[in-house]
Amino acid sequence: MKNKLSAGGLVYSTEAGRMCPACRQPVAQCRCKQAAPAPAGDGVVRVSRETKGRGGKAVTLVKGLALDAAALTALGKQLKAACGSGGTVKEGVIEVQGDHVERVVTALQAAGYRVKRAGG
């Protein structure tokens, strides 16, 4: 019988950095994320503004895009450039720093997406 602690596997390597616990490859070369299918959405992209948990700083969130990770990253880069600010892509959600809801909605509509403004 194995010890509970030994079931986890390799998490970090000094050669490659962080390791994926599922496929035991470096995170940059992880096979698990590439095999994950794109999330199915209802065809409506929702754009909202959020400040919770961010020290009062506003962040524009884009949810509901049925794109794979590479396409989502590319679209996030375009939106950040259109707003002239930074941001990131986390768990299928594009985050753009600052209150840029109107600019993001306009840019997504120009790209051919059905967009709804969510939240207050």
pLDDT tens digits, residue range 82-117?
A: 999 999 998 889 999 999 999 999 999 998 889 999
List, in order, residues 6 or more apart from 108 with CB less than 8 Å away.
45, 47, 62, 79, 115
Name the phi and psi angles at 44, rounded to 5. Answer: -115, 125
Per-residue model confidence as pLDDT tens digits over 12-26: 666 777 777 777 778
Instruction: Reply yes or no on whether the pLDDT at 4 is more than 70.
Output: no
Judged by DSSP in three states, 118 sits in coil
Domains of the chain: 10-35 (no CATH), 44-117 (3.30.780.10)
Residue 1: pLDDT band with limits 50, 70, 90: very low
* Mean model confidence pLDDT for the chain: 81
Q: What is the pTM of this model?
A: 0.66
In whole angstroms, what separates CA 92 from the centre of its chain?
4
